[in-house]
Amino acid sequence: MNFKKNTIALAVGSAVGLANCAWAADESSAMELAPITVSGEKIDRTLEKTQSSVVVVTDKNLREHGDKDLVDVFARTPGVYSQAGNENWGIRGVPVSGFDDQGPATLNGAVSVYVDGAVQPNRALTLSPVPLWDAEQVEVFLGPQSTTQGRNSLAGAVVIRTKNPTFEPSFSAQTNVGNYGEHGAAVAGGGAIVDDKIAGRIAVDYGEGDGYIRNTALNDDANPRRTSNTRGKLLILPNDDTDVLLTYAHSEHRQGDRSTMRVNGKPSYYDISSNTKAFDNLKQDTLSAKVDYRLNDAWSLTSMTANTSTDYSNRLDFDQNAVDNQVVLRKQDGNLFSQELRLNYASDTVKSFVGAYYGRNTNDFHDRLLFDNALFGTVKGETTIENKAVFGEVNWTFAPRWTLITGLRYDHETNDTDVEQDDFSEPAKVNKSFDAVLPKLGIDYELATDQYLGFMVQKGYRGGGVNLRSGSGHQAYDPEYTTNYELSYRGSFFDKTLRTRANLYYTDWKDQQVSVRQAGSSVIDVFNAGRSDIKGLEVFVEKDVTEQLTLNVGGAVTDSKYKDFVTGSGQDMSGESFLSSPKYKVSVGGVYRFDDRLIFGTDVVYQSTAPSEYEFDASGKVTGERRSDNYVLVNFNTEYKVTKNVAVSAYVKNAFDKEYVTNNRSDDIIDVGAPRTVGMILRYDM
């Protein structure tokens, strides 16, 4: 991308980021059509020409719906299930960390999240809500992205792009307050440092709150939260053919206990009883460099280098009550380095790239269990994962209206795990290597103007690993593979005022990695469980009723089942649905824009019940299940421009204060959804 010429910002997306086009309004309220560009698959395409099931949320969408972070985006996205605080979320029924549950020091996952091209550590995905104060665009890909993104993309990927420096001066600031002690502030701005050569941008945000969960034993807030983020970007244009973008990001996130409890068989909203002041604390630093070099009008080179270091600490009430004094202390130091080099080609009939990738992920972990402040046991060790890959893709319009899509990736991974000490079993040293060939093949046909039909087959893959849980024996397990068959439709009608998208898919899953607790024991083992499948449909429709009013509806049906799964302890889960996977999710909403000064948005979200735990008889057959609650949530957001530069907004999440259980385990510790939350924001834009 030539940043000198890139002076037009991305325009307004749909109410759920699903439009094939976006409406942008200038000060005179004239409307103009501007396409949304999807870049997460490394070939820029308009949304209507993107076969993958993808939800695109622009910065304007975030403001219209009062989305502060990824938790808010996921909460209203069909095909994605989530819990308050991002503790557990997944795409198409598959949890972000996968089903294998390597342990608290996990390095593998089923969904990759990228921020400005840098892949985020697995720990950050379930701990931090990932604030979106300075985001330009969020792309949520539903379905495998292994051929393009590689490891940890078996179920999907999330690609976040924050705002880049420009040579025009910019400045924004906001402050916010809300219930449960919520308050924060943010500033961002930048401009030219050297005219037409160097531009910079800095964004800073800070937020904290008391949380809505009360620790009755300590008579204190159980889940206070504090988050801060700092990002600096430097754009350097040494000549007309080279763009260099340097980014440094620092984030800190600290929070308490997100669980609640059951009392006399009923959920106690919103209480927990613990004699330990639990916390999770994550510090993260990322340095990245993106270089784009245009060889000529058709050929270009892209280099993406990133390094992320993390410092994680945790204190957990091991017995999760106020009776015994049992505490777990965790300390993990991680580092994630990646280098990708791509050669890109674009012409009127062909868009393609070929690339090479190297990644190195390390994690040193040290866990201690204390009884009455005395050390009872220790688990410590280190894991190093090296990943090398070559990959490519070709999109060839070989005939009018017909486009052939082919892609291939060869992936090689090594896992070196050394559990130096485990006082609950035996130390172990494991070295494993995995290889995979990941093809994809598809065809896209333009039925008529603005009407597209596509079909894609692609392979999904996630490397094996080592069970790092204490007392588990630290056995290694093998890779898992999926084959995904997907039919897609994208169509626009009535001068593009009605926009539709639909994806029908079937996923065949082999050698699936699943973690299972041993009967009568706290030990968790990992198995390559056999076979599973996922069948589903995702549909999104959006209508511009007038220039002021846009309505949208989105729905997802996800039918996931174990086809052949008998655990090592004899529990037969064949024919059962994936844990935590809701079958239905529907989102209905709209945005009303009045006189270029007032915006009102609303979303109504329904999510069906999902299994939380299966019950077995002595022979290992399923005799029952515990399920989460289904729910309907109603959210409102409004913004009013007091002046050209100053706006005040207010939001209500879960407006009718619905109480619902999101993880209905058999013990007395459960997870519940967030109660009604309200807040106000005062914002200034230069």
The phi and psi torsions of 635 (rounded to 5 degrees) equal -125, 145
- Segment 304-363, tens digit of pLDDT: 999 999 999 999 988 888 888 899 999 999 999 999 999 999 999 999 999 999 999 999
Does 242 have pLDDT greater than 90?
A: yes
For the chain, what is the mean pLDDT? 89
In the predicted model, what is the mean pLDDT of residues 417-440? 91
What percentage of the chain has pLDDT greater than the value 70? 91
CATH number for position 504: 2.40.170.20
DSSP symbols for 348-378: SSEEEEEEEEEEEEEEEEEEEEEETTEEEEE
Q: Is residue 446 part of a domain?
A: yes
Q: Is residue 537 part of a domain?
A: yes
Q: Is residue 567 part of a domain?
A: yes
Does 477 have pLDDT greater than 50?
A: yes
Q: Is residue 2 part of a domain?
A: no
Does 11 have pLDDT greater than 50?
A: no
| Amino acid letter for position 600 | F
Token pair 């795990």 is at which residue? 417
Find the range with the poorest average confidence among 77-91, 400-414, 447-461: 77-91
Coil, strand or helix at 153: coil
Grade residue 473 by pLDDT with cuts at 50, 70 and 90: confident
**CA pair distance 423, 116, nearest whole angstrom:** 41
Per-residue pLDDT at 529:
67
What percentage of the chain has pLDDT greater than the value 90? 72
* CB distance 14 to 545 below 8 Å: no
Q: Is residue 681 part of a domain?
A: yes
The phi and psi torsions of 630 (rounded to 5 degrees) equal -80, 165
Domain encompassing residue 284: 22-685
Per-residue pLDDT at 1:
44
- pTM attached to this predicted model: 0.91
- Segment 21-59, tens digit of pLDDT: 333 333 333 344 468 899 999 999 999 999 999 999 999
Q: Is residue 234 part of a domain?
A: yes
Q: Is residue 17 part of a domain?
A: no
In the predicted model, what is the mean pLDDT of residues 81-91? 80
Find the range with the poorest average confidence among 103-117, 152-166, 311-325, 416-430: 103-117
The phi and psi torsions of 427 (rounded to 5 degrees) equal -60, 160
Q: Is residue 388 part of a domain?
A: yes
Work out how many domains the chain is built from and give that number: 1
